[in-house]
Structure 1
Amino acid sequence: MMWRKWVAAFIGLLLLGMTLGATGVTATSSEAQETVTVILVSDNMADSGVAKLLANATGGIIVTTPWGVYEPNVTAEILSYAPDQVIIIGGPMAVVDQYVTDLEGYNITVYRWGGMNRYETNLIALEMAKGRGLLKKENITVFAPGNDSVAIQKAVEIALQKGGVVVYVNKTVSIEKLNKTVTIRKAIIVNTPVSKGVAKRLMKGLFRHNASAVDITVNVTDQIQFLEKLIQLRIERIEEIANMTNSTELFSLAQNLSAGLNEVNELLQAGNTTQAYKKLLWLQVRSQFVLKRAHLVLFREMGHGKIGIMMKLMKLRAELEILQKAGVNVTAYNQTLTEIEEYLKKGNDGMALRLLTQLENQLRELYKGKRAVLRKHMWGRHRGRMHGPHWGGNQTSNETESGRH
């Protein structure tokens, strides 16, 4: 039946999404406090770097979602930590607003620190964190070209080691503008052979402002395989959606991405590692947008009403699973899910949606009553690694509510 086909395929996509945007825990505070903070970020390398630094400073938990894609299992993962607040790194193009809707429905405070691009997001996150005393005065400023994944990764590593912050730069970087957010005294500029030009321009600018700076060039070879695997996973997901929807557009886009990977392999075989890496950086960004396009095609083909029902069904199922794993009895709720599936099989979407809405309200109340149980279970999994300071209360500046990547 068509309903079974959509459900089976949709579950498969969610499982693949877990691979693409795997969630993770990053925290350093070992002192138990009364609040839990989750940092939600996309798998965009630049935003992920900001999240790692923030998690290191606050003891927050990082949960990752695929760039530009909503996946109900991500909401369930966040709820499993019973957070008091969630901070989103990135604009709604990177981390979609549906997560905000989900979390606020459970009375979880959500902040979004995001700008029009990764450079603005980077500075906004630093400003917000400093304004709340979450980041101490930086010992050193580590710069990295914002479109160079290997340089970003190394810059974050150095900043964590030396107690510094990371600032992303491009060809049009303004030292005067940066000085409004960070105090640049000692600087490290991390680059690769493909971003050497950006590093040279930045070095000249820092010299004019009497800042001490050193330049580090990183070898890209070790990260090429990782980037190839990431892009290949995205291609596989796009192809899966193309098969589900019979979309010639998506097949063509997936083939173009695959051709790009073949070109990368040819460049590597010819010994041209720098050009291969440059091509991979382009494919990394391109594959994000194509994957987002694939999900839009999927939603269109399933129909607006149908996709809403499917998303809600998957979200509630995932939330029931996290409650069950924590020891909560959810037998009656699972029986309701079975009833909903029966209505969907019969084509009675209206009744299915009504039951889903009722079940969603019931689960919200159940979740509120079982937060202590979830948190105890969470502590059993990640003892001493989860807690960070509360970011609520009287704020001295407004959260950034909008932005795009």
Structure 2
Amino acid sequence: MMILAVPVRPVNATDTTLVILVSDNEADCALANYIANITSNVVIIKTPWGVYDPNITAEIISYAPEEVIVIGGPIAVPDEYIEDLRDLGITVERWYGKNRYETNLAVLKNITARFQLQLQNRVILVAGKDLAGIKKALRLAIQERAMIILVNQTTDITRIMEMLGLRIKSVTIVETPVMNRTMLMIQKQLRERLKECNCTKVLINMTAERALEAIQMAEEKINTARELSRNATNPAIENVLKIAEKQLEDAKEAYNTGKYGLAYGLALAAKAKAEVVIRLAGENMRMMIMTKTKLKLEKELLRIEARIRVMERLGVNVTVALQLMEAVRAAIKNGDYDTAQELMIKLKEQLRICYMRGKKMIRGRGHMPVRGRRKP
């Protein structure tokens, strides 16, 4: 499967000092897009949720950033990315919470401080798993320079307002029919606790196009989950994957009979199950790597090679790094793992030197897109 890291807006690499790395999760991605639309000189690079791809690191290198902000926790954006970037001497900061709702609040607090943004006392509320609703909420938040806040049935509006230090004058509730129950609970809270607030509602009709988009996204996630779980040993993975596949099948059947709301809801459920599989498969793979020295070294070398190759293509002198890489490869092949580990340390340090010496030249060349095939 081909995975492309996509900048949200074209940016000249010579002007770029900040990269935002975010998963393709609709909630976290919306927050990244929000930042990109209300600030300048920010590049956004997306990685598949829960999946590490060394080519994504290579894409980041092609912008030669001084700093990278990661939106989302280590389940959404694996720690391997942070390790890759810090090994090169790039400053990395992760903005996240224990789930998408806490991440939402962490990002809002950080962007107001980091970018000195003066946002209006307006809030856009939307269910945190409502794909179509989040898209609409993002557009409204950008237009009105408002805060977009993700909610679910356990959200405490008063707590959120206190955490963000808000005195809200205007609230817009965005909802699709599928999320009606969640948003009714939120409306009840607003009536009880924010009596002087000007509240409006934006209803989104469920169309064939929106249902199909959700189905396609669920199918893509299930395909990724299926690929990652091929060698997994956790028995729960297969069971959850079967549930996701059945929900997707039911979503397609509902879509074909014109029941777009039902199709949309089933597709979202299938996508959520697929993400559980991706998380479990990732945890399973990391446990396997930690217990097998050869596999760990091979995976680490694969990660480093992607960085070396992109710098080589961008014109950075990586001759010494290439020599060390081949020496590591030979040591692994010969079963001399102690030597391989010692050489790996030297290789990482050499690669850091290459990046530090070459980053100005990389920026001067302008950005060159990087494409690659993910290797789980």
Assess same fold via TM > 0.5. yes
Matched, 1:337 2:320: no
Q: Quick one: which of 288, 310, 317 aligns to 2:298?
A: 310
Q: Structure 1 CA distance, aligned partners of 2:264 and 2:367?
A: 42
Separation (CA, whole Å) in 1 of partners of 2:81 and 2:343: 22
Pair 1:32–1:142, CA change in 2 (3 A): farther
Q: Which position in structure 2 is the counterpart of 1:210? A: 196
C-alpha change, 1:348 and 1:28, in structure 2 (3 Å) is closer
Shift, 1:367, TM fit: 0.5
Q: Which runs of 5+ in 1 are unaligned?
A: 1-15, 383-405
1:71 to 36, 39, 53: 53
Aligned residue for 1:194? 178
Q: Which runs of 5+ in 2 are unaligned?
A: 370-376
Relative to structure 1, the CA distance from residue 297 to residue 97 in structure 2 (aligned partners, 3 Å threshold; closer, same or farther) is closer
Q: Which amino acid aligns with 1:216?
A: V
TM-score, normalised via structure 2 length: 0.85
Q: Which amino acid aligns with 1:108?
A: I
Q: Does 1:296 align with 2:278?
A: no
CA RMSD of aligned residues (A): 2.8
**In the TM superposition, what whole-angstrom CA distance separates every residue of 1:123-151 from its partner, at most 9, and x where no partner exists?**
12111211234422226321111121211
- Name the residue aligned to 1:43: 24
CA offset digits 1:352-402 (Å, max 9, x no partner): 33333322211111111111012223x3559xxxxxxxxxxxxxxxxxxxx
Query: Relative to structure 2, which stretch is displaced further, 209-218 or 148-157?
Result: 209-218
User: Is residue 150 from structure 1 mapped to residue 144 from structure 2 by the alignment?
Assistant: no
1:1-400 equivalence runs, <5 A: 16=1, 19=3, 22-27=4-9, 36-59=17-40, 60-138=42-120, 140-180=122-162, 181=164, 182-207=166-191, 208-220=194-206, 221-244=208-231, 250-301=237-288, 303-377=291-365, 379-381=366-368
Kindly indicate whether the alpha-carbon contact (under 8 Å) linking 1:144 and 1:155 is maintained by their aligned counterparts in 2.
yes
In 2: Cα distance, 1:30 partner to 1:342 partner: 40
Query: Which whole-Å deviations, capped at 9, do the CAs of 1:23-81 have from their partners, x for residues lacking one?
Result: 22135889976x61111222221111111111222332112223233332222222221
**How big is each residue's C-alpha offset from its partner over 1:187-230, in whole Å with a ceiling of 9 and x where there is no partner?**
22111001122333333444443221221121343233333333
The runs of at least 4 consecutive aligned structure 1 residues that moved more than 6 Å come to 28-32
Of stretches 298-307 and 35-44 in structure 1, the one that deviates more from structure 2 is 298-307
Secondary structure of 1:370's counterpart equals helix
Paired amino acid for 1:354: E
* Shift in alpha-carbon separation, 1:269–1:300, aligned structure 2, 3 A: same
| Deviation sequence 1:131-181 (CA, Å, 0-9, x none) | 234422226321111121211111112222332221112223333223332
Structure 1 CA distance, aligned partners of 2:319 and 2:211? 47
Deviation at 1:339, TM superposition (A): 4.1
CA distance in 2, matches of 1:101, 1:329: 22
State the Cα distance separating 1:185 from its structure 2 match: 1.6
What is the alpha-carbon distance in structure 2 between the residues aligned to residue 32 and residue 80 of structure 1? 11
CA distance in 2, matches of 1:380, 1:314: 23
Cα drift, residue 248 of structure 1? 6.4
Deviation for aligned residue 1:306: 3.1
- Most deviating of 334-343 and 357-366: 334-343
Does the CA contact (< 8 Å) of 1:57 and 1:134 recur in 2? no
**How big is the shift at 1:87?**
1.5
Q: Partner letter of residue 279 of structure 2?
A: K
The answer to which of 85-94 and 327-336 deviates more is 327-336
221-230 vs 164-173, greater mean Cα deviation: 221-230
CA contact (8 A) 2:254 2:262 kept: yes
Cα distance change on mapping 1:363 and 1:226 into 2, 3 Å: same
Secondary structure in 2 aligned to 1:179? helix
The letter of the residue matching 2:35 is L
CA distance in 2, matches of 1:365, 1:307: 26
- Give the residue type in structure 2 aligned to 1:368: M
Whole-Å Cα distance in 2 between the matches of residues 30 and 290 of structure 1? 38
TM-score, with normalisation over the residues of structure 1?
A: 0.79
Q: How many angstroms apart in 1 are the aligned matches of 2:323 and 2:14?
A: 37
Cα offsets for 1:268-290 (capped at 9, x unmatched): 23332222211221222221120
Give me the whole-angstrom Cα distance separating, in 2, the residues matched to 1:141 and 1:283: 30
Q: Report deviation, 1:93.
A: 2.5
Report the CA distance between 1:98 and its aligned residue: 2.9
